[in-house]
């Protein structure tokens, strides 16, 4: 059995679904169910007795300790995080509480549990912390991609809070010997992505006939990773990764934001043409850039391929088509996610930049 945290959200729920597709080992799913946590993502598991959902906070040390003592998992995979840069600009405190303070309380509970384990369970235990490439800061156009030894230079409250959590995880390994693993991934995309992020926002707005807001000149470059590839990498790191090590996970797909938007528009033109026959690209609008917007991220994923034999299965072309098709086929999920609070958030964030 393993314990996952924050796994009713985008990446976590995809990991849980893939976990049960790959095997039948039981999994405890602890999630606070904030705005991005959605149990509908896991509806297919509602009758699976090996998926144990617990509504709770990683910052609740007593709850986490009781779950560890009762279920005695062999590993903890920490997905729990506030993860949207724009939200961190408007309200940084939640990011500090969840990503820094919450991770600290989780580590404390896990350390106490791990210390109590008999050998060989103690040697076999793993704590896997899921992080982001944003902790490394921004790259110029010609700089080499981020490696695992790149200096941390976070530029937003979100990335700073994730950097702090990474440092805590590292410290608990070097100070206490806790067998930790850290993964730093590039931009994920795919099914169940909360529609405040670039790709699902473009799909949702395009179909609704709304403008497609692009920050600045749209030339911010990201490395795009299909979420199910990310999940397979996490499983590989959990199985074969060396305690104390960091593994960068990337898709080898550097794309400018504006190119992403045009790709989504072309796929929608093909799969769901506008009733007036015009291209979705006509809906693209440029808005003021966000503060501290990093220009380029790029992941060097050679270490995980060299040491653990992992590389992504999807190209960007195959992954983005699957993503657009999923959103078209799951409009009821989209409708349910688009709550009043979400609409107010989008209006607030983009109205200020129009």
Active-site annotation holds for 133: yes
Tokens, residue 48: 């699976």
For residues 27 and 90, what is the distance between their CA atoms, to the nearest angstrom? 34
Residue 337: both structure tokens together: 């996610």
Instruction: Considering the candidates 134, 254, 294, 314, report the single residue annotated as catalytic.
Output: 134
Q: Is 176 known to be catalytic?
A: no
For the question of residue 134 being annotated catalytic, the response is yes
By CB neighbour count within 10 A (0-12 exposed, 13-18 middle, 19+ buried), where does 24 fall? exposed
In the set 136, 158, 189, 215, the catalytic residue is 158
Q: Active site residue: 31, 82, 86, 133, which one?
A: 133
Active site residues: 133-134, 158
């Amino acid at each position: 059995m393993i314990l996952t945290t924050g796994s009713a959200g985008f990446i976590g729920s995809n990991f849980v679904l893939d976990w049960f597709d790959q095997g039948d080992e039981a999994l405890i799913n602890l999630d606070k169910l904030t705005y991005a946590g959605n149990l509908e993502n896991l509806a297919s598991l509602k009758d699976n007795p090996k998926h144990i959902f617990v509504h709770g906070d990683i910052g609740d040390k007593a709850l986490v300790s009781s779950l560890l003592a009762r279920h005695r998992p062999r590993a903890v995979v920490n997905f729990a995080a506030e993860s949207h840069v724009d939200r961190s600009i408007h309200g940084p405190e939640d990011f500090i509480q969840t990503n820094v303070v919450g991770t600290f309380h989780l580590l404390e509970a896990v350390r106490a549990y791990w210390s109590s384990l008999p050998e060989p369970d103690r040697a076999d235990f793993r704590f896997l912390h899921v992080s982001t490439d944003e902790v490394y800061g921004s790259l110029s156009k010609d700089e080499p991609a981020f490696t695992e030894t790149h200096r941390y230079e976070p530029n937003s409250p979100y990335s700073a809070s994730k950097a702090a959590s990474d440092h805590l995880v590292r410290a608990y390994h070097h100070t206490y010997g806790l067998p930790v693993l850290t993964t730093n991934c590039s931009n994920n995309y795919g099914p169940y992505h909360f529609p405040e992020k670039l790709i699902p926002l473009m799909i949702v707005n395009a179909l609704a006939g709304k403008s497609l807001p692009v920050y600045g000149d749209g030339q911010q470059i990201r490395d795009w990773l299909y979420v199910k590839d990310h999940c397979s990498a996490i499983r590989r790191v959990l199985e074969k990764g060396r305690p104390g090590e960091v593994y960068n996970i990337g898709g080898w797909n550097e794309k400018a934001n504006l190119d992403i938007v045009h790709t989504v528009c072309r796929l929608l033109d093909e799969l769901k043409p506008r009733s007036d026959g015009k291209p979705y690209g006509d809906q693209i609008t440029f808005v003021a850039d966000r503060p501290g917007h990093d220009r380029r991220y790029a992941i060097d994923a050679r270490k995980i391929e060299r040491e653990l034999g992992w590389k992504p299965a999807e190209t960007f072309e195959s992954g983005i088509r699957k993503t657009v098709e999923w959103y078209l086929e799951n409009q009821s999920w989209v409708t349910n996610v688009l709550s009043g609070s979400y609409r107010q958030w989008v209006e607030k964030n983009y109205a200020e930049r129009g």
